[in-house]
Amino acid sequence: MNVDIKMVDLGKKHPGEQEYLQAVREVLESIEEVYNSNPQFEAAGIIDRIVEPDRILMFKVPWEDDQGIVHVNLGYRVQFNNAIGPYKGGLRFHPSVNLSILKFLGFEQIFKNALTTLPMGGAKGGSDFNPKGKSNSEIMRFAQSFMLELWKVIGPSTDVPAGDIGVGTREIGFLYGMYRKLARENTGVLTGKGINWGGSLIRPEATGFGCVYFAKEMLATKGESFEGKTVAVSGFGNVAWGAVSKINELGGKVVTLSGPDGYVHDPEGISGEKINYMLELRASNEDVIKPYSYDFNSAKFVPGKHPWEVECDIAMPCATENELNEEDAKTLIKNGCICVCEGANMPCTPEAIEAFQENKVLYAPGKAANAGGVATSGLEMSQNSMKLNWQRNEVDKRLHEIMENIHVACVEHGTEDDGYVNYVKGANIAGFMKVANAMLDQGVI
Ligand code: NDP
Ligand code: 2IT
């Protein structure tokens, strides 16, 4: 395999799908050497088969707003690869959603899910529906209409969706209610469910917690910890919330949060009631972080910018893709940042990643660092199958172990001659080998 030639071919087949092509190139570049030294992969056409989704379902989602006006959004489910388990991955409701974004997310999900060591294939779905400013009833009607199509292709052993941007417990509730009615079964086909109807303890916190557990392992390789460290976090959603809570618990000080309108810098630290305030702000359905600076005098709001210009020891991008570019990376490095751990999916651009790696900054890609969310979804599936619930500390312990094991896998496959751990290479090789070997065993299908 020659990565450049493959990428030219793929670019011709899928013109304009920038995020998808970005995610594929990163994986192919990391695995090129291993792939070419195992000719059985090429003989079985593994690359050509793994870069294309098994299938894509695309549908219209008509719904009526509170004024009786009819709207039509686009709905999608990209079922990418189920070689090691049922399709698994979140649903994103955000106006920016398109096929390229869902294909990049679904592709990354294959390797992320493989890293968790649980039996889950890769998928992603969602809609360009914008939940911001919508009433509860509008969100319910939209979710029900969305499920009216989606339910045909999902099932507890087929495809198990969950949340992502714009989809939390409330949306999962509306989706699950409709699925249950249509399928006439209560088998826990979605994860991220409410605790009284099949959900798992720790799932809401899991992505953020897992990301901090991963960063803790990375820091430990340098004899460092979160204690006394200043941390810049972006986003103020589910992932950011879990991360901020755990960073505080481990003695770190979080000084930023961000939204699409800009970022807040709170040098006194985001802890205690300020963490609960994040949840209120999210629940208010507004699109802004600015109100934080009205309610807490210690904070300053900086409009239209990302938080990476703030001095920090550790950066955790937890908002969205390509939110940290080369210039941001150089600023972070100049300011002495020693660790960048991705809570979001693909938040750093390829140029930013190169800058971190050249400067030997500890850098972990989302597919390793944020795998705690889907891993705990996997634990929710296990509990649903067994028809019992684990205690909070049981789930947290398993999550912690899974994150430690992912770190071990990255170190094993990503350590370079000078001892620097290339976590991108480590995560991609470990995830790829597992799925590629399963595909080899199962023949050309
Ligand atoms: P939420 O909807 O809870 O929060 C998303 C956050 O990012 C919000 O603060 C949102 O603000 C902000 N945001 C969205 N778009 C932009 C933008 N263009 N610029 C700046 N901020 C933006 O989603 P999650 O916390 O669940 O997801 C965050 C990231 O983590 C995503 O990349 C997601 O794919 C990833 N992830 C999520 C997992 C999960 O289990 N939920 C698991 C693994 C990864 P606003 O909504 O106001 O736009
Ligand atoms: O990107 C992700 O890993 C998620 N949004 C979580 C997916 C899941 O199935 O829990």
Q: 362-420: per-residue pLDDT in tens?
A: 999 999 999 999 999 999 999 999 999 999 999 999 999 999 999 999 999 999 999 99
Name the residue with the closest Cα to ligand 2, atom 4: 90
Q: What is the pLDDT of residues 202-253, one digit of tens each?
A: 999 999 999 999 999 999 999 999 999 999 999 999 999 999 999 999 999 9
Atom of ligand 2 nearest to the CA of 371: 3
Say yes or no: CB of residue 374 within 6 Å of ligand 2: yes
Ligand nearest to the CA of 190: 2
Among candidates 38, 39, 7, 32, which has minimal Cα distance to 22? 7
Which parts of the chain register pLDDT below 50? none
Report the pLDDT value the prediction gives residue 281, as an integer from 0 to 100: 87
Report the pLDDT value the prediction gives residue 286, as an integer from 0 to 100: 73
Name the residue with the closest Cα to ligand 1, atom 35: 344
Atom of ligand 2 nearest to the CA of 164: 5
Q: Record the pTM.
A: 0.97
Pocket test for ligand 2, best of 154, 377, 380, 402 (most atoms within 8 A of CB): 377
Report the pLDDT value the prediction gives residue 283, as an integer from 0 to 100: 81
Ligand nearest to the CA of 110: 2
For the domain covering 56-187, report its CATH number: 3.40.50.10860
Residues designated catalytic: 124
Name the residue with the closest Cα to ligand 2, atom 10: 374
Asked if the domains 56-187 and 206-369 are classified in one and the same CATH topology, the answer is yes
- CA 359 to ligand 2 center in whole angstroms: 30
Question: What's the distance, Cα to Cα, between the start and end of the chain in Å?
Answer: 21
Pocket test for ligand 2, best of 80, 167, 211, 374 (most atoms within 8 A of CB): 374
- CA 56 to ligand 2 center in whole angstroms: 18
Report the pLDDT value the prediction gives residue 84, as an integer from 0 to 100: 98
Q: Output the ligand 1 site: residues, CB below 6 A.
A: 90, 163-166, 207, 235-239, 258-260, 287, 318-320, 323, 343-345, 370, 373
- CA 35 to ligand 1 center in whole angstroms: 33
Ligand nearest to the CA of 370: 1
Say yes or no: CB of residue 377 within 6 Å of ligand 2: yes
Atom of ligand 2 nearest to the CA of 105: 1
Domain-wise residue ranges, the chain: 56-187, 206-369
- CA 209 to ligand 2 center in whole angstroms: 14
Architecture field, domain 206-369: 3-Layer(aba) Sandwich (3.40)
Report the pLDDT value the prediction gives residue 192, as an integer from 0 to 100: 98
Name the residue with the closest Cα to ligand 1, atom 13: 319
